[in-house]
């Protein structure tokens, strides 16, 4: 980490510092200092010194790409990391694999798990740079802001737990196309809008919990085509219409939770013959 704090360039003959960006490719911000005179009073206009400085800890981290480290550093800074319940290793250990809740495999972050850890604020957009993330669990914190739409196109994702936060907005299409997604738990937030129809395309989803939000509209009939679904939690929303008979065709359904909505009509008779169903 850089210990650079300030530059005193007074009482000299040089020009002002010129920011150049990261021209050295080391993740640091580079500056140029050009001289107009040498110590003897002559001109030395060709002299250029480079100064690199950064407040980032990431150049010290060697086991993951710089972009991934910066995403984690942004998360720490944007969610009040100094006041997390536990932040062992964060921005202190040169191996990100030793940071609390971070799992590194094959030189990339594959898991970020910080449930019930007093995270506050909003998630940085740079989290989308964790392109090999399989598990993201930030449940039971105090996170706010829009739902992170990038998660719907995070191809390696198997588990997404963002429950018990204060996310707003809608759930985008795309989750149904994630071939390995097993669990999507977004219950107890402030999400709204309609339920994404394309979720019915999933061939791997087992747990889908969207309870305790503000979803409206009808339950998509396509959701009755998810062959692996064992738990569907939709209670305490603003859903309307009838219960699709297609839900009775779910071959693995164990818990179907629909209470406290505006649903009308009768319960489909085929739900009574669903041999795996234990909770309705």
pLDDT in tens, 157-183: 999 999 999 999 999 999 999 999 999
- The torsion angles phi and psi of 170, rounded to 5 degrees, stand at -110, 165
Residue holding tokens 């964060």? 90
Q: State the chain's maximal CA–CA distance in angstroms.
A: 97
- Averaged pLDDT, 55-77: 94
- Is the pLDDT confidence value at 119 over 60? yes
Q: Average pLDDT, stretch 55-63?
A: 90
Kindly state the average pLDDT of the residues 109-134: 98
pLDDT of residue 20: 44
User: Does pLDDT of 251 surpass 70?
Assistant: yes
- Please tell me the predicted confidence (pLDDT) of residue 24: 43
Judge contact between 161 and 181, C-beta under 8 A. no
Domain 60-273 listed as CATH 3.40.50.1820: no
pLDDT exceeds cutoff 80 at 262: yes
Q: What is the pLDDT of residue 38?
A: 54
Would you state the pLDDT for residue 54?
55
Average confidence score pLDDT of the chain: 85
Average pLDDT over residues 234-240: 98
**Other beta carbons less than 10 A from residue 37's beta carbon:** 14
Residue bearing the bigger pLDDT, 124 or 5: 124
DSSP letter string over 116-184? TS--EEE--GGGGG-TT--EEE--SSEEESB--GGGGG-TT--EEE--SS--EE-PPTTGGG-TT--EE
Tell me: pLDDT of 53 over 70.
no
* pLDDT of the residue at 278: 58
In angstroms, the CA 232 to CA 256 distance is: 5
Average confidence (pLDDT) over 219-239: 96
Please, which pLDDT band fits residue 40 given cuts at 50, 70 and 90?
Answer: low
- What pLDDT was estimated at residue 1? 42
Among 16-30, 133-147, 149-163, the range scoring the smallest mean pLDDT is 16-30
For residue 43, what are its two tokens? Answer: 């001109």
Q: How confident is the model at residue 4 (pLDDT cuts 50, 70, 90)?
A: very low
Q: How far is CA 211 from the centre of its chain?
A: 20
In the numeric block, which tokens belong to residue 19?
A: 């920011």
pLDDT at residue 41, as a whole number:
54
The backbone torsions φ and ψ at residue 149, rounded to the nearest 5 degrees and listed phi first, read -60, -25
Candidates 128, 124, 130, 126; CA nearest to 101 is 130
Can you give the residue ranges of every domain in the chain? 1-55, 60-273
Q: Return the pLDDT at 151.
A: 98
Which of these ranges, 11-25, 59-73, 77-91, 258-272, has the smallest mean pLDDT?
Answer: 11-25
Beta bridge partners of residue 136, listed in sequence order: 112, 160
Q: With 60 as the cut, is the pLDDT of residue 91 above it?
A: yes
Q: By three-state DSSP, how is residue 59 classified?
A: helix
Decide: 224 and 248 in contact? Cβ < 8 Å: yes
What does the alpha-carbon distance between residue 165 and residue 122 come to, in Å, rounded to a whole number? 11
Q: What is the pLDDT of residue 55?
A: 74
Q: Which two tokens stand for residue 141?
A: 């914190």
The percentage of the chain sitting over the pLDDT mark of 70, rounded to a whole number, equals 77
Q: Rounded to 5 degrees, what angle do the CA atoms 239, 242, 248 make? A: 110
Question: Average pLDDT in the 124-133 region?
Answer: 98
The reported pLDDT for the residue numbered 113 is 99
Model-level pTM?
0.81
Which tokens hold the place of 98? 């030793």
Which is more confidently placed, 42 or 235?
235
């Amino acid at each position: 980490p850089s210990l650079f704090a300030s530059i005193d360039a007074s009482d000299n003959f040089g020009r002002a510092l010129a920011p150049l960006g990261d021209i050295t490719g080391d993740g640091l911000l580079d500056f140029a200092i050009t001289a107009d005179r040498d110590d003897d009073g002559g001109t030395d206009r060709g002299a250029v010194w480079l100064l690199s400085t950064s407040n980032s800890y990431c150049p010290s981290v060697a086991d993951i790409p710089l972009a991934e480290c910066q995403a984690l550093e942004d998360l720490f800074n944007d969610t009040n990391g100094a006041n997390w319940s536990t932040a062992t290793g964060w921005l202190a250990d040169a191996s990100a694999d030793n940071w609390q809740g971070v799992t590194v495999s094959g030189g990339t972050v594959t898991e970020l798990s910080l449930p019930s850890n007093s995270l506050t604020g909003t998630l940085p957009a740079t989290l989308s740079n964790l392109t090999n993330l399989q598990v993201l669990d930030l449940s039971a914190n105090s996170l706010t802001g829009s739902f992170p739409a990038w998660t719907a196109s995070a191809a390696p994702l198997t588990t997404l737990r963002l429950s018990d936060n204060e996310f707003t907005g809608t759930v985008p299409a795309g989750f149904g196309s994630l071939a390995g997604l097993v669990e999507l738990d977004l219950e107890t937030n402030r999400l709204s809008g309609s339920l994404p129809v394309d979720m019915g395309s999933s061939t791997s989803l087992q747990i889908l919990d969207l309870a305790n939000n503000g979803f409206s509209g009808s339950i998509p009939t396509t959701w009755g085509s998810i062959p692996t679904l064992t738990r569907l939690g939709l209670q305490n929303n603003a859903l309307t219409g009838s219960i699709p008979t297609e839900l009775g065709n779910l071959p693995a359904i164990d818990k179907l939770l629909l209470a406290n909505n505006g649903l009308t009509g009768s319960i489909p008779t085929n739900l009574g013959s669903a041999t795996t169903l234990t909770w309705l």
